[in-house]
A and B are shown apart, each in its own frame.
Chain A
Amino acid sequence: AQSVTQLDSHVSVSEGTPVLLRCNYSSSYSPSLFWYVQHPNKGLQLLLKYTSAATLVKGINGFEAEFKKSETSFHLTKPSAHMSDAAEYFCVVSESTGGFKTIFGAGTRLFVKA
């Protein structure tokens, strides 16, 4: 069975400081892992994905995530936060075969202070 846990319901950072959004997963299969971002009153946009290639994945807008199998983690980071990064972030796990069944984490709300 798959599950995903986002360890923080909300994270607050100052503009220009690093961002860390934490995600742990469990999966019976070799998982595909994703981070999506949702800005207020908008749909979801893919930030980055891991599908069993390089363990350090670079995404859009300067975000990256590292797949650590031994820790079953896929934390999202960014060296320097921007005001426009304020949004809801979702960690997602998907079966590698077919990708039909996806499980979303509960989300982490990122606040960025000026």
Chain B
Amino acid sequence: DTAVSQTPKYLVTQMGNDKSIKCEQNLGHDTMYWYKQDSKKFLKIMFSYNNKELIINETVPNRFSPKSPDKAHLNLHINSLELGDSAVYFCASSQVTSGGEQFFGPGTRLTVL
């Protein structure tokens, strides 16, 4: 059973399009995250949701909008895609009481042409 899953695994699209990435966790965790990993492997947190409420919103353009329909899902919608959005996006989850250990999804490689 996959603990944290993301779809799609690869996403190739044109500039200006709108796209979504889905994330689901079956670990019963109460917190979910989105990270962006750039070409130099640097990982930066974008958003964090706890019990469906936005906890962390780093300086991310408002073209990025996370949506958490329930505790097990955190989707990422991106409007008006730009070349600089090309990266690998990782979803993760954790349980507050577990001391911050996060479980990561396999990543979604987004390429904007």
A102/B45 contact (C-beta < 8 A), A42-B106, A43-B104 known: yes
The reply to whether B48 and A100 form a contact with Cβ atoms under 8 Å apart is yes
A107/B100 contact (C-beta < 8 A), A99-B94, A100-B50 known: no
- B66 at interface (Cβ–Cβ under 8 A)? no
Interface size on A, residues (CB 8 A): 26
Contact with B along A23-54 (1 / 0, CB 8 A): 00000000010101010001111100101000
Across-interface contacts of B96 in A (CB, < 8 A):
98-100
Q: Which of B31, B50, B99, B103 lies in contact with A51, CB distance below 8 A? A: B99
The reply to whether A49 and B101 form a contact with Cβ atoms under 8 Å apart is yes
Cα–Cα distance between A85 and B41 once the two chains are bound (Å): 17
Cα–Cα distance between A45 and B45 once the two chains are bound (Å): 17
Chain A: residues with CB nearer than 8 A to chain B?
A: 32, 34, 36, 38, 42-46, 49, 51, 88, 90, 94-96, 98-104, 106-107, 109
The reply to whether A88 and B41 form a contact with Cβ atoms under 8 Å apart is yes
Across-interface contacts of B33 in A (CB, < 8 A):
102
A44/B90 contact (C-beta < 8 A), A96-B99, A98-B96, A102-B102 known: yes
The reply to whether A101 and B56 form a contact with Cβ atoms under 8 Å apart is yes
